[in-house]
């Protein structure tokens, strides 16, 4: 029986290779979409590395005339804020999280040039944000006035520079001739939010006593349950402490909500295009497979006239299409595997690739079994006499 | 061997209902060679399809080899189609993607038979219709007469007791038609096969043992 089926398939190689091409295209499109969703989900669900509850961000526009006093004014404002009963903690930062702004640099390592995001925060900010320390310590006053500046780095940056080795108290090259000392390693700080790629990160210390220190936001940790009404009081106090400065208050929750909705909108168009593409391909495939069976109604009728049961005939059709589908998937796989081999898409790891291949294979197989099962069921519902006259 | 009692078949299309077979009772004995004649549209093919279990009568009873057909359920009826009946169609109905040999083997695929035995029986049947030299050819490389001989080989490969031929020579010229008749004669005389043949050709009908005439879905005496 198998020899018979393969003989038929070989004789129909023209028609079958068209079906194979159709399935290869469908498989690759599906694989791309599945892998994209898989990678996006992985990025989205990777830990942020910090908490954003009850945290407010105060962005400020300093008075330009007052340039020399920026540091002192900001420090004094910070102190005033810390005194308020509603506020548990206050820290400076270059930029708050969840906005599309960050300082960045490139660092040379054995793994090539590394793209690294960075910030500078006042002492204790990491604890306030609930970040996880994996090794060493956070930055503190003991780092003051060292000839080699101290930093804390995230695990990915540590792995990229030092590999498996201990990084605490090790030095690495930064910005040409400067060396930095690692004093601590933290899990992660995905400053630009859930939609941003997981990447390298490092944090410097902001010395509030140094008038040259640079920061663009003050962030406050309010007591749980503090309402937005507090903003009014806050603005008043801010205005008193720096009358000529502009302050803008937002909550980190708000910033995150905006980040999420912007991220969703940006992904809307590619998602709609992908869905549309998949729909087109699925309908194309459906049509081709469906027609492949219906145009054989006469042949199926003949087989039954010769003594085949409807079940046997159906099994044959399903088997044929499964073989064709598997061949197509094998071809599609050989084409698609070139992408992880070449490594052009960094997030497409082997794990993600094979998982996506598995999911796509199952979907395509189910689709093709359905496209063999239903039309052949219909074709074998005819009495053989009618099937033989089917046009 | 074949018995129909009060067989009735009508077709219903959107608007009209055609009675193709109206209360036909018929008995064909074992080893008989019978021809069925009648004008076009009188129900000959319908009768053949019902005898061949390719179609289901609306009313009436069919007996094949003294066995009453109780159910048209596929599982019970497929083995009877496969083992007891060989069917020859006016339009051959060969599978173009299969060689002569594979076409002839087709009914045996649905039996528990080894590939070797299948091949042996198929070659034997091909020999009977004198197509040995063409076994590896494909249907579209053969003449109409040769194609019908392939169809005959396919019908007899499983050694059925009953051979049904619906206008087997209808699409052939007279020389080819005579070849087919010679083969059927031979099967009747030497293999004792019960044969029912539909024909428009008086001369061919005269060569059979009995002529059944149909008119408007009914038997005429
Ligand atoms: N599948 C069908 N649907 C509707 N009418 C049919 C069908 N098959 C046959 N008929 C009608 O039944 C009658 C008998 O047809 P048929 O048995 O093919 O005649 P014959 O073989 O004697 O020419 C004709 O009127 C034909 O039009
Ligand atoms: Mg007819």
pLDDT at A116: 96
Cβ contact A101:A95 at 8 Å: yes
Question: What ipTM was predicted for this assembly?
Answer: 0.95
| HEC sequence for chain A | CHHHHHHHHHHCHHHHHHHHHHHHHHHHHHHHHHHHHHHHHHHHHCCCCCCCCCEEEEEEECCHHHHHHHHHHHHHHHHHHHHCCCEEEEEEECCCCCCCCCEEEEEEECCEEEEEEEEEECCCHHHHCCCCEEEECCCCHHHCCCCCEEEEEEHHHHHHHHCCCCCCCCEEEECCCEEEEEEEEECCCCCCCCCCCCCEEEEEECCCCCCCCCCCEEEEEECCCCCCCHHHHHHHHHHHHCCCCEEEEEEHHHHHHHHHHHHHHHHHHHHHHHHHHHHHHHHHHHHHHHHHHHCCHHHHHHHHHCCCCHHHHHHHHHHHHHHHHHHHHHHHHHHHCHHHHHCCCCCCCHHHHHHHHHHHHHHHHHHHHHHHHHHHHHHCCCCHHHHCCCC
pLDDT at A66: 67
pLDDT at A346: 80
Closest in B75, B106, B154 to A309, CB measured: B75
B143–chain A nearest CA distance, Å: 21
Q: So where are chain B's domains? A: 31-49+74-220
Tokens standing for residue B7: 């067989």
Tokens standing for residue A383: 């009495």
Ligand 1 center–CA B42 separation, angstroms: 8
Residue B4: which of B64, B46, B72, B62 has the closest Cα? B62
* Tokens 């520079």, residue located: A161
Ligand 1 center–CA B69 separation, angstroms: 23
Residue A284: which of A3, A18, A44 has the closest Cα? A18
Mutate to test the interface with A, among B78, B151, B155, B165 (most CBs of A within 10 A): B78
> How far, in Å, CA of A313 to CA of A4, rounded?
13
Tokens standing for residue A74: 């900001």
Angle value at C-alpha B106, between B105 and B110, nearest 5 degrees? 110
* Tokens 């992880």, residue located: A340
Question: Which regions in chain B score pLDDT beneath 70?
Answer: none
> How far, in Å, CA of A335 to CA of A118, rounded?
39
| Number of the ligand 1 atom closest to the C-alpha atom of B166 | 21
Ligand 1, from B46, B48, B198: best to mutate by most atoms within 8 Å of Cβ? B46
**A to B CB pairs, distance under 8 Å:** 68
Q: So where are chain A's domains? A: 2-45+259-388, 95-205
Cβ contact B197:B208 at 8 Å: yes
Cβ contact A183:A143 at 8 Å: yes
CB contact under 8 A, B93 and A7: no
pLDDT at A23: 93
Q: Is A365 exposed, middle or buried (0-12, 13-18, 19+ CB in 10 A)?
A: middle
Indicate which residue's Cα is closest to atom 27 of ligand 1. Answer: B41
Number of Cα atoms under 13 Å in the Cβ half of residue A12: 22
A370–chain B nearest CA distance, Å: 22
CB contact under 8 A, A307 and B74: no
Chain A residues interacting with chain B (CB cutoff of 8 angstroms): 1, 3-4, 7-8, 11-12, 298-299, 302-312, 383-386, 388
Angle value at C-alpha B100, between B98 and B101, nearest 5 degrees? 95
> DSSP code of B3?
E
> How far, in Å, CA of A76 to CA of A87, rounded?
15
Cβ contact B153:B131 at 8 Å: yes
Strand ranges (DSSP E) for B29-77? 33-37, 59-64, 67-68
Ligand 1, from B10, B43, B54, B58: best to mutate by most atoms within 8 Å of Cβ? B43
Question: Which regions in chain A score pLDDT beneath 50?
Answer: none
Reduce the DSSP state of residue B43 to 3 states and report it: coil
Tokens standing for residue A98: 């969840």
Please state, in angstroms and as integers, the Cα–Cα distance from residue A121 to each residue in A139, A197, A254, following that order. 9, 22, 21
pLDDT at A270: 86
pLDDT at A73: 80
Q: Is B13 in the pocket of ligand 1 (CB under 6 A)?
A: yes
What is the architecture of the domain spanning B31-49+74-220? 3-Layer(aba) Sandwich (3.40)
């Amino acid at each position: 029986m198998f020899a018979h089926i393969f003989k038929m398939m070989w004789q129909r190689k023209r028609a079958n290779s068209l079906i194979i091409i159709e399935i290869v295209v469908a498989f690759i499109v599906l694989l791309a979409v599945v892998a994209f969703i898989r990678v996006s989900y992985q990025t989205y669900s990777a830990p942020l590395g910090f908490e954003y509850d009850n945290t407010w961000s105060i962005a400020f526009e300093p008075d330009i005339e007052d340039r020399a006093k920026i540091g002192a004014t900001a420090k004094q404002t910070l102190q005033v804020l810390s005194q308020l009963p509603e506020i548990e903690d206050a820290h400076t930062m270059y930029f708050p999280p969840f906005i599309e702004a960050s300082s960045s640099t490139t660092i040379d390592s054995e793994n090539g040039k590394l793209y690294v995001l960075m910030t500078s925060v006042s002492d204790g900010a990491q604890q306030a944000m609930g970040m996880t320390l994996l090794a060493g310590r956070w930055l503190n006053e003991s780092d003051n006035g060292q000839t080699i500046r101290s930093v804390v780095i995230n695990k990915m940056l540590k792995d990229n520079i030092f590999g498996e080795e201990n990084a605490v108290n090790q030095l690495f090259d930064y910005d040409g001739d400067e060396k930095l000392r690692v004093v601590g390693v933290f899990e992660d700080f995905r400053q630009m939010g859930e939609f941003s790629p997981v990447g390298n990160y490092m944090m410097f210390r902001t010395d509030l006593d140094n008038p040259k220190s640079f920061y663009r936001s003050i962030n406050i940790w309010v007591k749980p349950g503090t309402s937005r009404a507090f903003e009014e009081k806050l603005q008043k106090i801010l205005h008193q402490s720096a009358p000529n400065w502009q302050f803008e208050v937002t909550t980190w929750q708000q910033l995150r909500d905006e980040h999420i909705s912007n991220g969703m909108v940006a992904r809307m168009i590619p998602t709609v295009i992908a869905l549309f593409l998949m729909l087109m391909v699925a309908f194309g495939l459906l049509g081709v497979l469906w027609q492949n069976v219906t145009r054989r109604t006469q042949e199926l009728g003949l087989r039954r006239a010769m003594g085949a049961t409807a079940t046997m005939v159906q099994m044959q059709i399903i088997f044929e299409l499964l073989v064709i589908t598997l061949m197509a998937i094998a071809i599609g796989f050989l084409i698609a595997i070139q992408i992880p081999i070449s490594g052009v898409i960094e997030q497409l790891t082997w794990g993600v690739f094979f998982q996506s291949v598995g999911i796509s294979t199952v979907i395509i197989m189910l689709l093709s079994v359905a496209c063999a099962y239903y039309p052949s069921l219909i074709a074998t519902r005819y009495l053989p006499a009618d099937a033989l006259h089917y046009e | 061997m074949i018995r129909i009692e009060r067989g009735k078949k009508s077709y219903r299309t959107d608007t009209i209902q055609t009675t193709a077979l109206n209360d036909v009772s018929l008995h064909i004995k074992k080893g008989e060679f019978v021809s069925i004649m009648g004008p076009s549209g009188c129900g000959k093919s319908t009768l053949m399809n019902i005898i061949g279990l390719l179609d289901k009568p609306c009313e009436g009873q069919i007996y094949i080899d003294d066995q009453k057909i109780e159910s048209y359920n596929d599982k019970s009826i497929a083995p009877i189609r496969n083992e007891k009946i060989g069917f020859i169609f006016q339009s051959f109905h060969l599978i173009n993607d299969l060689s002569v040999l594979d076409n002839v083997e087709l009914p045996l695929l649905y039996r528990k038979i080894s590939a070797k035995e299948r091949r042996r029986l198929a070659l034997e049947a091909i020999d009977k219709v004198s197509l040995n030299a063409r076994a590896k050819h494909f249907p579209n490389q053969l003449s109409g007469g040769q194609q019908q001989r392939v169809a005959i080989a396919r019908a007899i490969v499983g050694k059925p007791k009953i051979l049904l031929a619906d206008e087997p020579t209808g699409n052939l010229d007279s020389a080819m038609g005579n070849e087919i008749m010679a083969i059927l004669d031979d099967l009747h005389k030497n293999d004792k096969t019960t044969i029912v043949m539909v024909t428009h050709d008086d001369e061919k009908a005269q060569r059979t043992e009995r002529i059944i005439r149909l008119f408007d879905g009914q038997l005429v005496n």
